[in-house]
């Protein structure tokens, strides 16, 4: 048998571990279930972290199409990861690192590099033990220093690419005392045509799990409604677990209500008792209630925000949707997000934007939809509609102003048009010789210096901010002097890099080269998003007051004519 020196795996690192697997179909909400459980354990006084396992061969999510896996979420250290890490950061209120995302590409790359370096001393390198030990090592190291680590295994049990991970977890459970490990299996409980909750998919899924050598301790049934008592009993009987270990996770109006739902089901208490932590947890009356207060706060109105992008998929802009929601919690309004296809904007855009109270142009890459985004910026600028441009949206605001205000005909980003006569947006100097696409952009947290007496200063309340970046292009320094005496000012900089722009003569016009949506949390909304929602609410109230005045005027006029 290989030794620890062969695999560099140290099984002595200890914590409590919850392993979350999924069955029947993907997209059931394993991540939200796991994050919600973690939130409740955090409320009970424990330090909680999470690991997301993605069985794909990509080293990270940086080169993946948002249509397939949703947005690419950027961590503080620059890691480009699956959007589930964003949910973990928002629910657990912790900053994660690249080490909290394990991919097949990352694991195999590491083991192969060690083999090439001769670290295995001529031994045959195999899935077991070298790959499985590297997986276990990564989990333990990511968990170090915390009380509980929740590990979500992406995909569905039975997928061939997930087999090494499930084998690693089987070994992991063998190495740990029983009270240190809990397996939770999230599965689909559909309705039949006659309205009966069907357990057969769950039975087959658990059979698949058990054939691998794993026995779920907890089963969470995803269904439109709560599981009926007889459904729970049937699942317990055929899946060989206690009835009290079967929990409902029904559809809810908002994902932030899932912790409240699983708390009502008693999932957190069951987990604490399994781990023997119930005596160490805060008493129920002393646990944090902040989450419940935030997500159930009263709303006094609604604002409508247009999101002008090229992906008609909420997951592609998940952090933006969530950031608007966080700002809505703070202001006390619901935020309705209206997706507006950027590639149709160039032809007809007024009708799609005139009914909203605010406009967001998000980040992105490539030519498609760029002209529509520029049109949306122009509409917001000329019609005093509150506007927020993020990364590419920031760059398109620079292009729009250069074209339509500075008179630089044909101005564009060199990313979109290499032959533009005015490349007001150009590639970063350090990107000139870059050939590989993955992990080579300006990534992660960087500090921006903010000018006093500006909108940006009012929003952040400080002369600096630290936000996460993901870009290859920036404002071209050769054009800085063109903006010197303009109402459009760069109020945030990082050395010779322009980071924040704003329009002094506008109710709310802000662009950021960084992505503020990645650091927004419930109870801690992102300042640019909070400012946008506040401005949009003011816009909505002004329009309502104006409409009421017009109505009164019409009524007075009608009265005069009658008399």
Q: How far apart are CA 41 and CA 35, in angstroms?
A: 10
Q: Are 470 and 72 in contact (CB under 8 A)?
A: yes
- Which of these, 389, 432, 392, lies nearest to 529 by C-alpha position? 389
Per the annotation, the verdict on 391 as an active-site residue is: yes
Q: Give the H or E element holding residue 229.
A: helix 229-239
Q: What are phi and psi of 561, to 5 degrees?
A: -65, -40
**Long-range contacts of residues 79-84, Cβ cutoff 8 Å, at least 24 apart:** 79/443, 79/444, 80/438, 80/439, 80/443, 80/470, 81/52, 82/52, 82/54, 82/154, 83/315, 83/318, 83/319, 84/31, 84/35, 84/52, 84/152, 84/154
Q: Are 493 and 499 in contact (CB under 8 A)?
A: yes
Copy the structure tokens of residue 105: 């590409």
Which residues are paired to 412 by β-bridges? 423
Question: What are the start-end ranges of the H helices in 417-476?
Answer: 455-460
Per the annotation, the verdict on 517 as an active-site residue is: yes
From the candidates 391, 467, 474, 506, give the one annotated as an active-site residue. Answer: 391
Q: How far apart are CA 458 and CA 449, in angstroms?
A: 13
Annotated binding site for ATP: 27-32, 84, 252
* Tokens 């970063």 found at: 428
What secondary structure letter does DSSP report for 447? E
Copy the structure tokens of residue 524: 């801690």
* Tokens 């703070």 found at: 330
- Which of these, 12, 73, 15, 77, lies nearest to 41 by C-alpha position? 15
Q: Are 134 and 107 in contact (CB under 8 A)?
A: yes
Annotated binding site for L-glutamine: 67, 364, 392-395, 415, 472
- Which of these, 186, 115, 104, lies nearest to 138 by C-alpha position? 104
- Which of these, 401, 390, 363, 357, lies nearest to 505 by C-alpha position? 401
Neighbours of 299 (CB within 10 A): 12
Annotated binding site for Mg(2+): 84, 152
Per the annotation, the verdict on 515 as an active-site residue is: yes
Annotated binding site for UTP: 26, 198-203, 234
Annotated binding site: 26-32, 67, 84, 152, 159-161, 198-203, 234, 252, 364, 392-395, 415, 472
From the candidates 69, 185, 469, 515, give the one annotated as an active-site residue. Answer: 515
The residues carrying an active-site annotation are 391, 515, 517
């Amino acid at each position: 048998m290989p030794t620890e020196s062969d695999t560099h795996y140290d099984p002595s690192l200890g914590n409590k571990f919850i392993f979350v697997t999924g069955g029947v179909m993907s997209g059931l909400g394993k991540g939200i279930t796991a994050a919600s459980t973690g939130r409740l354990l955090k409320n009970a006084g424990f330090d909680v972290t999470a690991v997301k396992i993605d069985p794909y061969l990509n080293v990270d999510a940086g080169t993946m199409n948002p249509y397939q896996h949703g947005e690419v979420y950027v961590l503080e250290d620059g890691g480009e990861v699956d959007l589930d890490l964003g949910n973990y950061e928002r629910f657990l209120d912790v900053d994660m690192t690249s080490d909290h995302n394990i991919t097949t590409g990352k694991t195999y790359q590491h083991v192969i590099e060690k083999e090439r370096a001769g670290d295995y001393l001529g031994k045959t390198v195999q899935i077991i033990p070298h790959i499985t030990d590297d997986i276990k090592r990564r989990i333990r190291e990511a968990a170090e220093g915390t009380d509980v680590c929740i590990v979500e295994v992406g995909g569905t049990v039975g997928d061939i690419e997930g087999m090494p991970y499930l084998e690693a977890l089987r070994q992991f459970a063998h190495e740990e005392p029983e009270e240190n490990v809990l397996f939770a299996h999230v599965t689909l409980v559909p309705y039949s045509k006659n309205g009966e909750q069907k357990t057969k998919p769950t039975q087959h899924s658990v059979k698949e799990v058990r054939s691998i050598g794993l026995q779920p301790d907890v089963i969470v049934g995803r269904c439109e409604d709560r599981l009926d008592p007889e459904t729970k009993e049937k699942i317990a009987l055929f899946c060989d677990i206690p009835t009290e270990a079967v929990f409902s996770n029904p559809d809810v109006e908002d994902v932030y209500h899932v912790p409240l739902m699983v708390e009502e089901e008693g999932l957190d208490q069951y987990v604490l008792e399994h781990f023997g932590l119930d005596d160490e947890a805060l008493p129920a009356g002393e646990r944090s209630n902040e989450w419940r207060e935030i997500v159930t706060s009263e709303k006094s109105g609604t604002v409508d925000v247009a999101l002008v992008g090229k992906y008609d998929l909420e997951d592609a802009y998940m952090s933006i949707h969530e950031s608007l929601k966080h700002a809505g919690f703070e202001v006390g309004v619901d935020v309705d997000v209206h997706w507006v296809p950027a590639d149709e904007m160039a032809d007809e855009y007024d009708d799609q934007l005139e009914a909203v109270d605010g406009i967001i142009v998000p980040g992105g890459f490539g030519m498609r939809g760029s002209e529509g985004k520029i049109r949306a910026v122009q509409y917001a600028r000329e019609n005093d509609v509150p506007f927020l441009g993020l990364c590419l949206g920031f760059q398109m605001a620079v292009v729009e102003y250069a074209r339509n205000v500075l008179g630089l005909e044909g101005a564009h980003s060199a990313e979109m048009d290499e032959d533009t006569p005015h490349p007001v947006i150009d590639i970063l100097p350090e990107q000139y010789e870059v050939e590989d696409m993955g992990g080579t952009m300006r990534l992660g947290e960087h500090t921006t210096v903010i000018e006093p007496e500006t909108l940006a200063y009012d929003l952040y309340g400080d002369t600096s901010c630290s936000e996460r970046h993901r870009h290859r292009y920036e404002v071209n320094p050769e054009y800085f002097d063109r903006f010197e005496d303009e109402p459009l000012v760069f109020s945030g900089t990082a050395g010779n890099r322009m980071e924040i722009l704003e329009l002094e003569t506008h109710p709310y016009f802000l662009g950021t080269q960084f992505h503020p949506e990645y650091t927004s949390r419930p109870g801690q909304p992102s300042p640019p998003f909070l400012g946008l929602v506040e401005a949009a609410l003011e816009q909505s109230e002004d329009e309502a007051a104006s409409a009421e005045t017009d109505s009164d005027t019409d009524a007075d006029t009608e009265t005069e004519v009658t008399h």
